[in-house]
Structures are given as C-alpha cells and as structure tokens.
Amino acid sequence: MTAEHEPAVASQRIQAVRDYLDALQQRICGALEAADGSARFVEDAWTRGEAEAGGRPAASSALVGLGRTRVLKDGAVFEQAGVNFSQVSGSRLPPAASAHRPELAGAPWSALGVSLVVHPRNPYLPTTHMNVRYFEARPDHEGNDRSWWFGGGFDLTPYYPFDADVVHWHTVARDAVAPFGDDVYPRWKQWCDEYFFLKHRNETRGVGGLFYDDLNAGGFERCFGLTRSVGNAFLDAYLPLVERRKGMPHGEREREFQLYRRGRYVEFNLVHDRGTLFGLQSGGRTESILMSLPPRVRFEYGYTPQEGSAEAKLADYLKPRDWLAG
Amino acid sequence: MTAEHEPAVASQRIQAVRDYLDALQQRICGALEAADGSARFVEDAWTRGEAEAGGRPAASSALVGLGRTRVLKDGAVFEQAGVNFSQVSGSRLPPAASAHRPELAGAPWSALGVSLVVHPRNPYLPTTHMNVRYFEARPDHEGNDRSWWFGGGFDLTPYYPFDADVVHWHTVARDAVAPFGDDVYPRWKQWCDEYFFLKHRNETRGVGGLFYDDLNAGGFERCFGLTRSVGNAFLDAYLPLVERRKGMPHGEREREFQLYRRGRYVEFNLVHDRGTLFGLQSGGRTESILMSLPPRVRFEYGYTPQEGSAEAKLADYLKPRDWLAG
C-alpha cells in the first residue's frame, strides 16, 4: 500500500460509515416521530470551514465539517429529542484524542458519528442517550493499523425505575453484541458504569448499558459490524419502554422529581462528559453539542427524598449492578 | 521571625479575616431577608475531616474544614439566595492553586471565604454573585511574603438590563476601591470581564463588576482593607436594584426568557468557573458548591430572540463596555 493509496482507502471506509450513519439517523428520527405521534423533527444542516471533496481535511489547521442537527420539541411523548449527525476533520489530531496514540499526535484526522438524547415528558419513561462514531487519523508512515477506531454505546437514565425495563434494556444490549464474543457485553457494560459516573455525587448517571471506545481489534469489517449492531439495537431497547410508560398517570410530584433529577444530567454533561467538553473546547457547534441538555430543569439545595418513598428508591439503581444475573 | 513564630502570626491573620467574614455573612443575610420580607435563611453548619484548633491543617493530606451554608428558598423577592462561609485547610497546596507559585507547591494551606449567589424572582432584577476569600500557605522557609493572598469581587447578570442599574453597580464598585488607587477599578473591572466569559458563546456572563485574585501588594493591612471595601460595597451596589425592580410587572414571556438565560449561568458555572470545578474535583461539599445553580432553568436548542425585541437587546450588554465613561 502506498501513501498515495491511503486517501482512497480512507475515503471508502468513511463513505461506508457515513452511508450507515445517514440511514441510522433517518430511521431513528422516523421511529421516534411515529412513537411521539405529534411533533416532528426539524433539521438544521450546517457546515463549518471549507472541506475538500470527500470530507478530507483542508490544508489549514482549522476544524472543518458538516452536520445535520435534528431536534423534535414539545412532543406528546418527547419533551425534546435531538438526533445529530456530524462529520468533522482537522489537520492535526488534538492532544485529548492522541493521548493513548503518541504515533498519531498531530496527524490529520476525520471523525463522524450520530449522537442522540431523548428527554421524555412522562417521569416514568427514562431519558436515554446513544452514540456511534468512527475516527480515522492518517499517520505520516504507511499502513499503521491503529489509524482508525470506533466508539459508541447507549445508556438509560430512569427517574422511577422498573426492574423489567432495566432488564429488557440490558438484554437487548447483551444480545446485540453477543455474536462478537461473550466478553463484549460484560466489558462494555462495566465501561458504561464507569464512564457515566458523577464522582462529586458518588452515583452513576443511570442504569447504564454499553460504552466503548478505541475499538479496532479484529479488523474494520468486524468493528463496523459491531458498531452497526449497537446502533441498530437502540430502537429495540428503547421503544418498548416508550410504549409501556408513555401513558402512565403522574402528577406534580413526579414531574418535580424528574426536573430535579434532570439537574444531574446537566451536571454530568457539563462537568464530566469528555465528548461535550472536547466539543466546546475545540470550537464545535455549541447549539448542537448542548442539545443534550434537558429543556427544563430544577436544582434544589439540600434535597433528600423522604425515606422509603418512590423517589428514595432511585438511589439503589445508581450503583453498578449485574442486571442479567441468574 | 522564626519558623516557630509563623503559626501564631498566621493564626492571627486568619482570625482577623474570619471575624470579618462571620460578620459579613451575618449582615448580608440580614439585609437580604429584610429586602425579601417573606422567607428566611436556613443554615447548614458542616464540618469535614478533623481540624486542629485554630483551623490549622491536620497532619494528613486530607481536606479538613468547616462551613455555614445559608440558603433562602422561595422568597417573595428572591427565588433563591445562598450565602456560604467556609474555611478549609489541606496539608498540600493543590497544583491548581500553586501554578503561579512554584515555591509553595505542596505547602500546607488554609483558605476561607464568603461566597453568595442571588437568583431573584423578577426577571427585571439581575442575578448577582459576590465572593471574598483569603488564602494562606506556609512555605518551608521563613518569611516568604507570597505566602498569603486575597481574592474576590462581585458581578451582575441582568436579563433585561437598565443602563441606570449598570451604571449604579459600576459606580459603587469604582468608589469602593478608589481609596486604594486609581488603577484598581479599571484593572479589576477588566479582569471581571475576562473571567466571567463564556468562550463557547462568545459572550460575558453579564455586565461584570470587580474580580481579583493573588492580591498581596502593599502588605496585609492594605489588602485586607481593600477586600473589606469590596465585601462591604456589595449591599450598596445591589439593594437599590432590588428596590427599583422587585415590583416591576412581568409575564410569562419575561419569565421564560429569564429561565432560558439562567441556562447560561449553569453553563458558565459548570464548564468554566475555576472555583466550582476546583471545589468539585478536590472533594469539596457538593451541595454548598452547587447552591450557585438557579432553582429553575430552561434550555432551548437554537433559540434566538426576535430582532429588535427587548430580549435581543441583552446581547449588547454581554460584551465588555466602559460603563463610567464620560
């Protein structure tokens, strides 16, 4: 393989991932609209800087990119849902992304992904997040097999958790990655618990799911297949919960608790989430990055739920647990 | 001065600052309660770790401290006001605090301060923040004059700004520090504009005020006097605004805009504010640190105020301006 060859190969991989991501965004938006039954997604297509044909990075060190941010507001079921596609390139890999890959420091890079966050109206229906992404960096020398990797996952943040929902969620997650090895689910489930953790609260963001990064083992086809399995499984994991919980009666008390707990979502995303902070610090599109924040939130000093209440029960779900044991 | 002398001197300074801060917290809480006319502050007194007498750091490297967090909720005028006193000590100065003072790296330290955030109900009355703090580190060698410093300031975050309010605010700020030199106000005003800046939004948090850190020039008495001037000026700067704006009629539109703009306050405090992040990362008391967050908040993807509207006017106030020119 010659250096001149690289771009063509890279371009084919990126194009294959992009085709998948385009279709995934389309499919998820369609399914969420159908589940909502009322509101529609509105799309903002944006570009940034000047990208050369095929999404290759321009000669300058500036970030270039394009995206489609789709947001559904004020739905019957979803108070807000955002499903972003973005593809960005840079002429130099930033330190945050090359810390574990010194050989790629300063290399030209491209990243593309779909990222979504759904904030439902009903407090019995959990908030959820899903992301799949592909990263490619072109080292100066030829044929470096560490020059691309996948990452992603999905996780669930209930307010009033139901064991059946959590077990369903993790069962779909496990089954999605099972064809790729028995060790994948336990490793990525644990990674998810560790990543979505609020150290300053000593609690997880929710009941977890899957999280992975740096996925490169076994070759491109395997890793792309695994990533498609994760992306495709999301609707199977979430839509049944929507159907079960969207109509559950609730009142001001449950709404207030939901608003309060959404505050922890804000805390996680703005204080801990590497993706959010990297995006804001690297000059990403602020509105698209922060569409993950809940539409309405409440903070309250010194709140503690009444002992034995439904609200107090949540704390038991905010520590890692093996949901599929036995 | 001998090394054995140090603790006694340090203790006297800390005691003097502490007496002032105790009285300041008391005075401000009393004045805010009077201005509210309805709700009262509730105090949480807390301790952390084991402090030796006089607040000197214990032998271990753990953080030790005590505090009084006072929060007023659901007032007639103030939706939430928090006024914290805290005094913490550690056996090793953390890197964030010693970056500019390599000679103090790893030294035992003490910090004490009063910090407040007021979130008013009326959208015409700005949110405000004030902080005064004293820091002392004990270097291994004797008589290092860089072993203590003051910091602090106050800043104003309007939603529907009035020029008269902003000019009053900055006039009080200027007059408070004028006895200490003509250069103090312009320098600290600029520092405030630079510190309270949301890079990812390209806007300031509000119309600023005063911000300073590392204050040590001219000796302890001068710096303590200057800090007292700042602390004492806060009520003179803010209370007249409360009287002017607390009764102004407003509706859902103004409330919604206030909730939306409070989102920027959350973004600043969780993404940018060094005090907040240092507190959370160093294992500070989370509830006390995050009492700065507004009780109710709204985030909205892609919001832009209508051109020419009262809401659009705010943008002009979110870039540094010389309020006392002419």
Q: Residue B100: how many CB atoms within 10 A of its CB? A: 9
Q: How far is CA A234 from the centre of its chain?
A: 10
> Which residues of B fall within a CB distance of 8 Å from A281?
200
Q: What is the mean pLDDT of each run of 10 residues along chain B (326 residues)?
A: 46 92 98 98 89 42 84 98 93 70 78 97 98 86 70 98 98 98 98 97 98 95 98 98 98 98 97 86 88 98 97 98 91
Side chain identity at A122, as an amino acid letter? N
Predicted confidence at residue A31, as pLDDT, reads: 98
Cβ atoms of residues A116 and A83 within 8 Å: yes
> Which positions ≥6 away from A133 have C-beta within 8 Å?
A111, A112, A113, A114, A115, A150, A151, A152
Cβ atoms of residues A52 and A84 within 8 Å: no
> Which residues of A fall within a CB distance of 8 Å from B273?
none
| Per-residue pLDDT of chain A in tens (326 residues, 90 and over written 9) | 344 444 455 678 999 999 999 999 999 999 999 999 999 999 999 998 754 444 444 444 467 889 999 999 999 999 999 999 999 888 777 666 666 777 777 788 889 999 999 999 999 999 999 999 999 987 765 555 558 999 999 999 999 999 999 999 999 999 999 999 999 999 999 999 999 999 999 999 999 999 999 999 999 999 999 999 999 999 999 999 999 999 999 999 999 999 999 999 999 999 999 888 878 877 789 999 999 999 999 999 999 999 999 999 999 999 999 999 96
Predicted confidence at residue B147, as pLDDT, reads: 86
Select from A270, A295, A299 the Cβ nearest to the Cβ of B298. A295
Q: How far is CA B160 from the centre of its chain?
A: 22
Predicted confidence at residue B145, as pLDDT, reads: 55
Select from A44, A71, A301 the Cβ nearest to the Cβ of B287. A301
Chain A / chain B CB contacts < 8 angstroms:
79
Cα(A78)–Cα(B293) distance, integer angstroms: 25
Q: Which of B200, B258, B280 to mutate to test binding with chain A, by most A CBs within 10 Å of its CB?
A: B200
Predicted confidence at residue A96, as pLDDT, reads: 63
- Note the ipTM here: 0.90
Pure H helices in B2-84: 5-36
Pure H helices in A37-152: 95-98
B278-295: buried (b, 16+ CB within 10 Å) or exposed (e) per residue? ebbeeebbbbbbbbbbbb
A270-291: buried (b, 16+ CB within 10 Å) or exposed (e) per residue? bbbbebbbebbeeebbbbbbbb
Cα(A173)–Cα(A155) distance, integer angstroms: 10
The torsion angles phi and psi of A305, rounded to 5 degrees, stand at -65, 150
Q: Residue B168: how many CB atoms within 10 A of its CB? A: 19
Predicted TM-score (pTM) of this structure: 0.91
Whether B286 sits inside 8 A of A201 (CB atoms) is yes
